[in-house]
Amino acid sequence: MFIQYLAQIVNSGLALGSVYGLMAIGFALIFSSSRLINFAQGELLLIGGLTLQSLTLVLHLSPLAALTAAALFGFVLGHLLYATTLGVGIKASPLHQLMLTVAASLCWQGVAILAWGKNPIMLPQLLPLPPVRLGLLFLSRDTLTALVLAVASVVLLSLFLAHTRIGRAVRAVSMNPVAASLQGIRPGFCHALSFALAGILAAMAAMAIGPQTMLRYDMGLGLGLKGFVAATIGGYASVGRVFFGGVMLGLVEAALVLLLSGELKETVTYVLLIGLLVLAPGKREEARTA
Amino acid sequence: MSARPSRQARNVAGFFLALCAVGLFLPNYRLLVVNQHLFLAINVLALNFCLGLGGQISLAQGGLAGLGAYASVLAHAHFPQASAIIVPVTALAAFGLAAAVSRPMERLGEGFLAMATLGLSLIFTNLVLTMEPLTGGSAGMMVETRLILPWIGPLSGDRTFFFLFLGLLALGCWIFSALKNSRPGRALLACKDDPLAASSCGIDRPALRSLSFGLGGAFSAMAGMLHAHYGGFINPEQFSLELSLKALLFLVIGGPGNLLRPLLAVMVLETLMSGMQFLGEGRTLAHGLLLTAALLAGYRRTARPARNTVPASSVAEGHKPM
């Protein structure tokens, strides 16, 4: 009985944790490059997922085509978000920039309501992977898809940041924008790119979460917050650790759902967030995505 | 030094006179909407204590207003005649709680403090939902009792509550101005402009900031109490994150630290937004666009070089904004 519970916790925890991990990396990327906490991160997922859903109604998408389309939408949406928030207020106070992302989140919610209505919408499973049983461990189709999407994104992003010229430029800007610009790197380009990368990650997260829970116009803020909690657990310092923070959060939440009620789960999550923020404030000052 | 304060005092007096005229001449049913705007305006002013004076962002105003509302309603259910004790005690408790939670969070940067306080707001909402037998959960609870003032009696009616909201707003404005021009107020402004320099001058930053945060908490709680007894019904939705975010948005639009402009922003923009009902499903987008435009207009205004503004950030120039 206990083993069954544990297997259930691992299964649903990994499914949720992968999504949180992807959202967290998006948060960390933007925060590291521009010191901005992006309140509209969840809306990137929402609009990306809803657009993909509309596309599936018109076209029969192969898995590769779905992935390409999601990445492309994510990239464009990320750029659009940058252009309407940090891009217009690059010299504004951090508070103005923060609030611009809040207003953008409201605008995007409005677009979602106008275009897709207020009812939840199911995104079909676009990457049909078979369920897997590893001894006592059981990974459902949705969990495996979410995990594969997330791990592949993490690996690709890590390789991109570590081994490409542009990736190194993004890291340089996150470490020292002035020094980076003296080396001929345009910080604005790297900020935009970090938004676009966050957009791609959010679209991948949408593909992972769409078939698990439906997509609804007001889901963005909650998911974005979970991404922030996960990024805080991960410490903002490396893509892998931030992703691991997301997986940990997912597993803890899944365990709490089985042990406590849904509302208490939320309460414990936010108590955890505040505890982490208060107990380790010094570390993040120097934290950079590497 | 000579002309500015008097001009500001004149402007504030004009603002309150105009609102008094609104309260006297507007029909009762229209005051219902104005009272909602005033409730938000008090929360904006409460946030101004935290952010405008202490330089600390807060997204906990919704939670604190809700705390005041629920505490007052539950206390009145047991002691219906004790408004004169319950209201100040609840306000004091909210002051203490806000001051206590702000102390350990004092060192967090803007974004992290925003998230931590947002977490507080969400914890409040989830606790209300969890304690269903006591709070009614998501279905909310009816407020049967009225506020009773000694020698005046039970308070009811749109116009009465309009003037109660207005009185609370005026009290808040007076305390804000008095505090800003006092020694602790100047110390708070120093903490806001340069926390490190303020500390090195011997200012006890956490203690001072907990004062401003506590005052903000107390005013939000008092606004929540009035709101609860005015509406006759409370549920967690009324004190959700939306309230906190709106308060912060309007304060940023008007400019933190400025007394009148954020309040004007609330009254004008909220009136405009409530007039957008005819847009139906399109109104969320319209609200977002309006707020973006207002934020950009506020940014353009503050972009003009001024002595006290934080140097424009940052991101492009390599300064660390948070």
Residue-wise pLDDT for B56-101, tens only, equals 888 899 999 999 999 999 998 888 888 889 999 999 999 999 999 8
What the block records as the tokens of B110 is: 């803007």
- The predicted model gives B47-51 an average pLDDT of 91
Residue B311: pLDDT over 70: no
Minimum-distance CB partner of B119 among A91, A107, A270: A270
The predicted pLDDT at position B219 comes to: 94
In chain B, pLDDT over 70 holds for what percent of residues?
92
Helix, strand, coil percent content, chain A, rounded in steps of 5: 75, 5, 25
> Which stretches of chain A drop beneath a pLDDT of 50?
283-290
DSSP state of B2: -
State the Cα–Cα distance between residues B320 and B309, nearest whole angstrom.
Answer: 15
Q: Give me the helices (H) in B181-282, please.
A: 183-193, 195-200, 205-231, 241-254, 260-274
**Residue in the block written with tokens 């003009």:** B304
Beta strands B141-142 and B233-234, pairing class:
antiparallel
> Residue A19's pLDDT is what?
93
pLDDT of residue B308: 47
CB burial of A215-228 (b: ≥16 within 10 Å; e: otherwise) equals bbbebbbebbbbbb
Kindly calculate the radius of gyration of chain A based on its CA atoms and give it in whole angstroms.
Answer: 18
Cα–Cα nearest to B251, from B314, B168, B176: B176
B315/A84 touch (CB, cutoff 8 Å), yes or no: no
C-alpha separations of B14 from B10, B19, B217, B264 in Å: 6, 9, 27, 12
Whether B138 contacts chain A with CB within 8 A: no
Please identify among residues 139-198 of chain B the ones whose CB lies closer than 8 Å to any CB of chain A.
Answer: none
Residue-wise pLDDT tens digits, B101-134 = 888 888 777 677 888 888 889 899 988 988 888 8
- Specify the pLDDT at position A233: 82
| CA B176 – CA A95 distance, rounded (Å) | 21
Q: How far apart are the first and last CA of chain A?
A: 42
Residue B120 and residue A91: Cβ atoms within 8 Å?
no
Contact B322 A94 (CB under 8 A): yes
User: Any idea of the CA torsion for B30, B36, B39, B41, to the nearest 10 degrees?
Assistant: -80
Cα–Cα dist A30/A199, whole Å: 10
* CA-based nearest distance A274→chain B, Å: 5
Q: Show residues of chain B in contact with A273, CB under 8 Å.
A: 115-116, 119
B312 and A92 within 8 Å at the Cβ level: the answer is yes
Nearest CB neighbour to B115, from listed A113, A114, A228: A228
Q: Do B315 and A264 touch (CB under 8 A)?
A: no
Q: What is the pLDDT of residue A272?
A: 83
Written as one letter, the residue type at B127 is: L
Query: Which residue in chain A has the smallest CA separation from B110?
Result: A95
Q: Vertex A88, ends A85 and A89: CA angle to 5°?
A: 80
Set of chain A residues whose Cβ sits within 8 Å of the Cβ of B284: 106, 109-110, 113
Bridge pairing between strands B148-149 and B233-234: unpaired
The token pair at A256 is 């709490």
Strands A132-134, A137-139: pairing kind: antiparallel
What are the DSSP calls for A205-250, one per residue?
A: HHHHHTTTS-B-TT-HHHHHHHHHHHHHHHTSS-HHHHHHHHHHHH
Please report the beta strands in chain A, taking only residues with DSSP state E, as ranges in sequence order: 132-134, 137-139
pLDDT at A75: 94
- Residues of chain A neighbouring B245 (CB-CB closer than 8 A): 102
Q: Which of B101, B115, B129 to mutate to test the interface with A (most CBs of A within 10 A)?
A: B115
Which of B126, B303, B312 is facing A263, going by the closest CB pair? B126
Report chain B's C-alpha Rg in angstroms.
20
By Cβ distance, the residue of A93, A228, A232 closest to B310 is: A93
Question: Which of A23, A47, A93, A183 has the most B C-beta neighbours within 10 Å, making it the best mutation to test the interface with B?
Answer: A93
The pLDDT assigned to B37 comes to 92
| Contact: A37, B114; criterion CB under 8 Å | yes
Determine the pLDDT at residue A21.
Answer: 93
Count CB neighbours of B21 within 10 A.
Answer: 10
Question: What letter represents residue A185's amino acid?
Answer: I
Out of B129, B245, B285, name the one closest to residue A114 (CB): B285
Instruction: Give residue B4's pLDDT.
Output: 56
* Averaged pLDDT for residues B8-26: 88
Residue B5: the pLDDT is: 61
B15 neighbors B264 (Cβ within 8 angstroms): yes
In this predicted structure, what is the pLDDT of residue B304? 66
Q: What's the Cα-to-Cα distance from B82 to each of B94, B227, B256, rounded to whole Å?
A: 18, 18, 36
Kindly report, residue by residue over B260-271, the tens digit of the pLDDT. Answer: 899 999 999 888
Q: Return the number of CB contacts < 8 Å for A and B.
A: 173
Residues from chain A contacting residue B129 (CB–CB below 8 Å): 263
Structure tokens at B319: 């300064």
Question: Which element (helix H / strand E) includes A269?
Answer: helix A262-279
Q: What is the pLDDT of residues B184-240, one digit of tens each?
A: 889 988 888 888 888 888 888 888 889 999 999 999 999 999 999 988 889 888 888
Look at residue B314 in the predicted model and tell me its pLDDT.
43
Residues of B in contact with A261 (CB under 8 A): 130
- Residue B73 neighbours by CB under 8 Å, 6+ apart: B141, B143, B145, B228, B229, B234
- Classify the C-alpha dihedral A188-A194-A195-A199 as positive or negative: positive
